[in-house]
Chains A and B, each alone.
Chain A
Amino acid sequence: MLAKVYSATIAGIEAYPIEIEVDVTQGLPSFSIVGLPDQAVRESKDRVKPALKNSGFEFPVKRITVNLAPADLKKEGPSFDLPIAIGLLTATKLIKRDRLTDYFILGELSLDGSLRPVKGILPTVLKAKGLKKKGVILPEENAREAALIKGINIYPVGSLKRVIDFLEGRIEILPFSLEVKNLFKERAIYPVDFNEVAGQEHVKRALEVAVSGGHNALLLGPPGSGKTMLAKRLPTILPDITLPEALETTKIHSIVGLLNPKEAIVATRPFRSPHHTISDVALIGGGPFPKPGEISLSHNGVLFLDELAEFHQDVLEVLRQPLEDGIIHISRAKGSVSFPARFMLVGAMNPCPCGTLGQQT
């Protein structure tokens, strides 16, 4: 029998709906996953099996085929564990199917059947809302991030067992919600402040001008003159980040798994300072499953390149286009993805290799 469960995968910064079809038939026992799965998706088998057993279900001795559709979209990560498990139970009639179309279901399974958080929640919940789903069933730790989106029900669950009880109507789960404005205000605190910088009035003035006019800045001075200190405190004199900006930046941090589940939102302007050994892919984004780089992680904030002269020439070159456009396009054989990258670029360097050019020694 065939069962269908709905979920999503992330490509670029957007979520795309994925239909998980599980077909269970008679024949030699096997378990195969098709539809461009990556390694983590393929390994899903080895998590789903023990998770089902440890949740009190027999793993079916049948020919099992899982198809992730559409087949031309690469599927990545462990978030399909839960929908695959639910599909299996539905296809073998261990649970009823009637409520499945209403939800997006996602989560990584531990071997004991409990759920682990996954990445890219924010875009997934947005997509579910766009498709007028009734709700999203997801791991508890992802609930706060998911609740940033209003107008769709968020059902946090701790284990496979709970999901089944919920789908079968044996238990009620209250949709999770939180006051986004309050959370946003609570989190909008910087650990440092620009006013901690003593003196240096001319530098501070210059930086205030740069910030007001939306310019980039280069700090040049001997070691210990406070360049790093000043740069770190720049986000605190930028205009406060707005909620829509914060959500945009949160989306990017969520996709790469940098979002702390407890904080749930990036409520301050990001400050990113990659080491000078960084590669061009890590800086502007890319990879086989294109991921945002540092320039996108600093979207709506500050990208600080300390010891600017030490960065590889070609790494600095790739900054040109996104600096002008505020967006980066990464081309792939199949279409291209774009990541927002509007940031203030701040560089710092010593005036000469020993750092003391022009000073009395």
Chain B
Amino acid sequence: MGKERIKLGREGEERAEKFLLSKGYKIIERNFKTSFGEIDLIAYWRKVLVFIEVRTRTSYNFGRPEESISEEKKKKISRVASLYLKAKKLNGVDCRFDVVALVLDREKGVKIKLIENAFQLC
């Protein structure tokens, strides 16, 4: 991964976090890592535990950012989420997967979209 992309990713995650705070999310983890992969943000929205994937693009040229989540990625996030629940002994909580899609276009400005319950465990 090039430096540019990492920087872009960081900026996206920061903006996403601010956006989520404004929507009433309480962030409890950032970049939760396991050997399988990581989850960008974990938060509570009311009593629902939300696993959040942040997708950042610089323009629409390659399609919408939310379309870039592959089945592979969903599986990874699913596994990490399951592990997280086990590690924290969190059974009996409502959960869901959200996606925050950002477009950071230098000319047209920033666009943020939240997709609640974007996909299911897979």
Residues of A within 8 A of B2 (CB): none
Per-residue 0/1 for A346-357: is the Cβ within 8 Å of any B Cβ (1 yes, 0 no)? 000000000000
A92 → chain B, closest Cβ, in Å? 12
Residues in A with CB closer than 8 Å to B81 are 28
Whether B34 is near chain A, meaning CB under 8 Å from some CB there, is no
Bound: A235/B120 CA distance, A = 57
Contact B97–A29 (Cβ < 8 Å)? yes
- Chain A 256-278, CB-CB to B under 8 Å as 1, else 0, gives 00000000000000000000000
Measured between beta carbons, the chain A residues less than 8 angstroms from B94 are: 26-27, 61-62
Mark contacts of B107-122 with chain A using CB atoms, 8 A cut-off: 1 yes-contact digit, 0 otherwise. Answer: 0000000000100111
Q: Does B78 touch A at the CB level, under 8 Å?
A: yes
B82 within 8 A of A: yes
Residues of chain A within 8 A (CB-CB) of B93 are 26-27
Q: Are B85 and A29 in contact (CB under 8 A)?
A: no
Chain B residues near A63: list those with CB within 8 A: 121
Report B-chain residues with C-beta under 8 Å of the C-beta of A16. none
Q: Return chain B residues, CB-CB under 8 Å to A166.
A: none
Chain B CB within 10 Å, residue with most, of A31, A61, A62: A61
For residue B78, which residues in chain A have a CB less than 8 angstroms away from its CB? 28
- Indicate if the CB atoms of A28 and B82 lie closer than 8 Å: yes
Chain A residues with Cβ under 8 A from B95's Cβ?
A: 26-29
Total A-B contacts with CB atoms under 8 angstroms apart: 36
Residue-wise, chain B 26-68 has the 8 Å CB interface mask toward A (1 for contact) of 0000000000000000000000100000000000000000000
Query: Shortest beta-carbon distance, A109 to chain B, in Å?
Result: 19
Chain A's interface size range is: under 10
Q: How far is the CA of A30 from the CA of B121 in the complex (A)?
A: 5
Name the contact of B92 in the complex, choosing from A26, A30, A61 (C-beta under 8 A). A26
What is the bound-complex CA distance between A250 and B91, given in angstroms?
52
Report if A29-B117 is in contact (Cβ < 8 Å); known contacts: A61-B94, A61-B96, A62-B94.
yes
Tell me the A27-64 residues at the B interface (CB within 8 Å).
Answer: 27-31, 61-63
Contacts of A29 in B (CB 8 A): 95-97, 117, 120-121
Residue ID in chain A nearest B93 by CB atoms: A26
Q: How far is the CB of A23 from chain B (nearest CB, A)?
A: 14
| Interface residues, chain A, with chain B CB atoms under 8 Å away | 26-31, 61-63
User: What residues of chain B have their CB less than 8 Å away from a CB belonging to chain A?
Assistant: 48, 78, 81-82, 85, 91-97, 117, 120-122
User: Could you name 29 residue pairs across A and B whose Cβ atoms are closer than 8 Å?
Assistant: A26-B91, A26-B92, A26-B93, A26-B94, A26-B95, A27-B85, A27-B91, A27-B92, A27-B93, A27-B94, A27-B95, A28-B78, A28-B81, A28-B82, A28-B95, A28-B120, A28-B121, A29-B95, A29-B97, A29-B117, A29-B120, A30-B120, A30-B122, A31-B120, A61-B48, A61-B94, A61-B96, A61-B117, A62-B94
A26-B95, A28-B121, A30-B122 are known contacts; what are 7 more A-B pairs with Cβ within 8 Å? Answer: A26-B91, A27-B92, A27-B94, A28-B82, A29-B96, A29-B121, A61-B48
